[in-house]
Structure 1
Amino acid sequence: MTRKVKILVSGRVQGVYFRLFTQNKAKHFGIKGSAKNLQDGRVEIIAEADSMAIEKFIKWCHKGPITARVDHVEVTELEHDEALTSFEIK
């Protein structure tokens, strides 16, 4: 079953290549979506894939890359309205 989620990641996640690592990990798991910096210092990730891939990706988001420090991860389920075609950095 395909899931679509919004993931908000807090901590030292901007200026440390978090979005690039996120894009690489998303491609590894076959996830489509996007990652963008928010003005409040968090990174917002939209991710769409099968449920197992999403769970593995969320688990990775709790750790993040070695260059980052993840303090908090918030996951919100979204409506699966349109199929995404790639994973992009915004």
Structure 2
Amino acid sequence: MVSRDKDGTIETWLVRVWGRVQGIGYRDACVRRARAQGITGWVRNRMDESVEVMLQGSPEQLADMCSWLRDDMPAALVDELEVTQVQPPFPRFDHFERLPTL
């Protein structure tokens, strides 16, 4: 279930994270954090050593999650975080999961 802010807005953001973000438990920590915040979507490694994250929830939830992705994983060294808002219509996710590497 996706949590909603007071006006019911749900957004979908595609986030790419570059830096030292693979091989350190970043995706597993991301799954735990997203589920704890009621965010749905997925996370996966990419062959270029970045991590890609699809987030769905309220704008406030997603902004908080992006802040966490950038600054709050102690083992990570994030060089760049790129956020793209996905325009509707977009698929609705019912949970947050870890996908295989793309």
Q: Normalized against structure 1, the TM-score is what? A: 0.95
- The 5 A counterparts of 1:40-55 are 40-55=48-63
**Within 2, Cα distance between the matches of 1:51 and 1:13?**
24
CA shift, 1:54, in A, is 0.6
Unaligned runs of 5+ in 2: 1-8
Identity level (%): 27
Residue identity in the other structure for 1:86 = H
**Within 2, Cα distance between the matches of 1:82 and 1:38?**
21
Residue identity in the other structure for 2:94 = T
Residue identity in the other structure for 1:83 = R
RMSD between superposed Cα atoms in Å: 0.9
Partner of 1:5: 13
CA radius of gyration, larger in: 2
Residue identity in the other structure for 2:67 = K
For these two proteins, the number of residue pairs brought into alignment is 90
Q: Normalized against structure 2, the TM-score is what? A: 0.84
Partner of 1:77: 85
**Within 2, Cα distance between the matches of 1:29 and 1:10?**
23
Partner of 1:88: 97
